[in-house]
Amino acid sequence: MIWRIARSREVTLAAVLIAVAAFASVRAPNFLTADNLVLVTAFAAIIAIAAVGEALVILTKNIDLSVESTIGLVAFVVATVLKQHDMPVPAAWALGIGLGLVLGMANGVIVTIFKVPSIVATLGTLSVYRGLDFYVANGHEVNLVDLPAGYSDPAHQTLLGFQFGGIGFSGIPIFVILAILVVAAVGMALRYTVIGRQFYAVGSNAEAAAVIGVRSRLTVFLAFSLCGMLAGIAGVLWGIYFGTLYASSASGLSLQVIAAVVVGGVSIAGGSGTVIGAAIGALFLGLINNELPLLKVPQEWLTLVYGAVILVAISTDALIQVRSQRAKARSRVR
């Protein structure tokens, strides 16, 4: 039974997501309003983009704890540049994404060249990048009024809406469309390209992958680099979404990103899972994040929920692996 559920983790999670949304709509009628759905899905899209990058790292049997600091630093740097009118908006966005890529590459170098365990390396860069954020901020903040007029509008705008008679559709949030494009691009690359399949090979068995010619260290470096770049994109979107930025922006977000990945079916042991599952996990946690305040549940419970989700997901993966190993052992006996 567990094996069957695991094989369709994305479908199961989607069903649970629908059930959670239905429950929330009954208990809190405001949940299904167009404005609230745009708010929820736009924020979930930011987490989903970061979760796609984290999924790439976890697929290679590593982990990146510095995602939140990368997002926070990128968001603040982009906002500061725009506040000082140093460059146009598109150039500032490109700077932020490039900064995320560089930070991800730094993680990759520490893990692959200096061979520091990823959990130790990124725990260190989590603090280093956050320290850089505080250094850049220098005790100041950036408010929405300091940014170009209409800067936060994309966070609330939708596309593909229509109105026909008495039936209408407000459209899909721009952030969600961007997240779908990222998930589709990375998902197809993982499934249909050689380098994409190498992520799974390295995570499953790095030694065996090396025997067949897979450059494991290069693959891991690429995973961290892409994770940093996607965190950079998430950081740009974070700044647009919130408008007001502090040196501590996005603190604690790594827990939510990692929870989205593991609840979406990406094995923490590496080698299995999909970015589609990670994105659905982000939406699932985004619904919970929005639903608890509507149900008048203290926001502090979110941390407990994220931790419980990670424990349940990891325990499920462990049970699946045990079942798989037993099945292989029985097949050898036969």
Three-state DSSP class for residue 245: strand
Contacts 24+ apart (CB under 8 A), 31-35: 31/290, 31/291, 31/294, 34/170
Report the relative pairing of strands 158-159 and 172-173 from DSSP bridges: antiparallel
How many domains would you assign to the chain?
Answer: 1
Going from the C-alpha of 170 to that of each of 11, 43, 54, 152, 160, the distances in angstroms are 26, 17, 31, 18, 8
Query: Residue 110 corresponds to which tokens in the numbers above?
Result: 């520490």
Whose structure tokens read 């996607």?
230
Residues 6+ apart with CB under 8 A from 58: 203, 258, 261, 262, 266, 267, 268, 270, 273
Torsional sign, CA 96, 101, 104, 109? negative
Flag whether pLDDT at 5 surpasses 50: no
pLDDT, tens digit, for every residue of 59-113? Answer: 999 999 999 999 999 999 999 999 998 799 999 999 999 999 999 999 999 999 9
CATH (domain of 302): 1.10.3470
- pTM across the whole model: 0.92
Sign of CA dihedral 284, 285, 291, 297: positive
Give the number of other Cβ atoms within 10 Å of residue 123's Cβ.
Answer: 14
Asked if 64 and 122 count as a contact pair (C-beta separation under 8 A), the reply is: yes
Unique residue bearing structure tokens 């990058």: 53
Q: pLDDT tens digit string along 226-282?
A: 999 999 999 999 999 999 999 999 999 999 999 999 989 898 889 999 999 999 999
Q: How confident is the model at residue 184, as a pLDDT? A: 97
Identify the DSSP state of 243. Answer: -
Q: What is the pLDDT of residue 313?
A: 76
pLDDT of residue 1 exceeding 50: no
pLDDT band at 18 (very low <50, low <70, confident <90, very high): confident
What does pLDDT average to over the chain?
A: 89
Average pLDDT, integer, range 198-202: 96
**C-alpha span between 96 and 89 (Å, rounded):** 11
Report d(CA 181, CA 50) in Å as an integer. 13
Range of the domain at 241: 2-158+167-333
Alpha-carbon distance 247 to 59, whole Å? 30
| Per-residue pLDDT reduced to its tens digit, 39-55 | 999 999 999 999 999 99
Convert the pLDDT of each residue in 291-329 to its tens digit. 877 777 777 777 787 788 778 877 877 777 777 777 767
Beta carbons within 8 Å of 250's beta carbon, 6+ residues apart? 68, 69, 71, 72, 75, 235, 238
